[in-house]
Structure 1
Amino acid sequence: MSRLEEIKPDNKTGLKAENFNAVDAEWTELEETTLGDAEAVSTSFITPVIVGPKGKPAGTANFNLTATIVQSNATAMNGNQSLPVPAGALKFTISLSDWPFESTNNSVRFAITLAARGKDGKARGKPSKKPRGDSDKLKKIDRVDMGEGMFMDAPALAVLDGVTKDITATVEQSGNAVEYVWVFPYFNKTLYYDPVVGSEDPSAQPTDGTEEVGTTTTTTAPVPTPAPTPAPTKSSTPATVVGATMATAVALLASALL
């Protein structure tokens, strides 16, 4: 994660989360949960962020990044938009609340650095971004090639104060780094957003014989939740599958957030 800041209609930067890259917070321990009918494990990164100049902040916002790793193919809901989540992929829920906007005409810009590298370990060129498919539903999901078989499915919609709205996203060069940059319109209280990071490499998938994406039961939640509810019973997923998924999660987190 590289930037969290307010921008004005003329694209000039306003208030910034000055301590965003230096917050003293850790990921919570992995816990068992579910996504629809799919068993999963999740972990969260929860922290307050100071917004505005050091010594004279405008306020404090709350940032929550929850990562959920599914054991089998599933479908999540990003507001009223369905989002395929392949087995072994990592679904993020980004939650931001109480941002002290300077103006209702402003937006929030959130950026992550893309560590795009080829199989030889060398840095690749600027990652490509294109619609995930030709259908009206898939056109609202951007597929970002992150290198080494890694991809990110980034919805072009977010949930702002409980309402699904269009957002914009671009791949940008920032100095020597390549960033994926989202711009979210003004919201009064809460922002929720659900991207997915996965791999097309068969070795990164759980070996439980899952079927193709799109055949699993969808979750019924109308909007994403900042903290998934743990499953009431112990997972029956084999330990080898869980171990492989945890290893995959570490690799996906490193690729997506460094």
Structure 2
Amino acid sequence: MLQADIQWREQYVSHALNRKFTGIIPTGIYEGFVCKASGYRLTVGEAGASNTAVVESNGYSITVRLTEPEVVEPTAAKPYVVIDARYQMGMTTIARLIAVAEPASHHLVLCKVTDTGSRWQVDTVERHLAKTVRLDGAIAEMAAAQIDQMHRFLQHRDEAKNDADSAQEGAEKTARALAASLSARITQNEERRKREQALADQKAVVAMAITGTAAINTMTRQITMLDRLMAVEKAAGI
């Protein structure tokens, strides 16, 4: 049975408190009011569970509690199961679970049912949770999403790191091979340069030797001619 915390005939207390908390306490389901379908039988709430919600109507904030499971009978024409609670001075306080075609502004949606042909399918997408509950759920979902995203990032990072390590290792091998090839070419060029320089030096020595021999021969001929001239002059008594 769904009850309101403060009933009519407690007018001073009920009027003051219900008006006092309007706009202060967020409306919505705080806990419980779970909807379960068994065939075409829909039960709201679970035995022994706490079911609490806050409804605003006519400028009053009404706290309602479900003390025991309650069966609601939605139809294809009235698929929404809602909490309908109203307080008004001089009127009996209303707190009930009903099925409606479209929820009113003061209704709290618990669920929406769809006929599958053999049973009700319960949809809680439009379930009116209190803001604090929605915030906690949103934070949890956000945290889960961030954890999942971080997990994927780390996985991709590890894969990228492995690829980068493999690429770096390949690049290092290529660089080492190129360096070895270049060093070999430099060594070959240096050896060829040394051989060419040695050959040039040998050619220069040979050229110098040839030039020196020619000069000596020329000087020898000149000396010989001079000796002959001196001998002739001596013989002539000059």
Which has the larger strand fraction? 1
- Identify which of structures 1 and 2 has the higher relative contact order when contacts are C-alpha pairs closer than 8 Å and 6+ apart: 1
Structure 2 length-normalised TM: 0.25
Larger Rg: 2
